[in-house]
A = this chain, B = another copy of it.
């Protein structure tokens, strides 16, 4: 798997804990001397996807760009971590078909809990109708049917989840830690 690159794609609702988990895992990889980069959905939207909105078409275009950059990095042996809602199955199928080392990590957390956390205050805004196309409320999050890994951020803390991911990856790569 690692010879073809490794792209850990964190999908889940806003506030589920994608970026928090991915960032901790990133630090773990780097501490182990591995080259790794985190492509964070929020950052992507202020850089390579500036100007795109949240229509189906724009969301898909955003994901295509993240896939494009992921490929450039991963084919050069850099571990890529992506944290982006990636709400539609079509997007995840696209990423999987384009990226040889694609590993889908479903960051599972109930909508109620994400809304309770509301780290960025987005759910409150969306409820007040200031945010159309808001995933989980006014726009669909199509649940992953066959994720490679699932972490549940309500049931386990970040360190446990990161340890679980590393162990699962080691199992997938025949005992060799990535």
Interface residues of A (CB under 8 A from B): 35, 37, 47-48, 50-51, 61, 64-65, 68-69, 72-73, 76-78
Contact = CB atoms under 8 A, between A and B. Distances in A.
A47 B51 CA distance: 14
Contact of A72 (B37, B50, B77): B37
B68 A47 contact: yes
Nearest to A78: B76
Q: Which 6 interchain pairs have the tightest Cβ spacing?
A: A48-B65, A48-B48, A35-B76, A76-B78, A47-B68, A37-B72
23 contacts: A35-B76, A35-B77, A37-B72, A37-B76, A47-B64, A47-B65, A47-B68, A48-B48, A48-B65, A48-B68, A48-B69, A50-B61, A51-B51, A51-B61, A69-B69, A69-B72, A72-B72, A72-B73, A73-B73, A73-B76, A76-B76, A76-B78, A78-B78
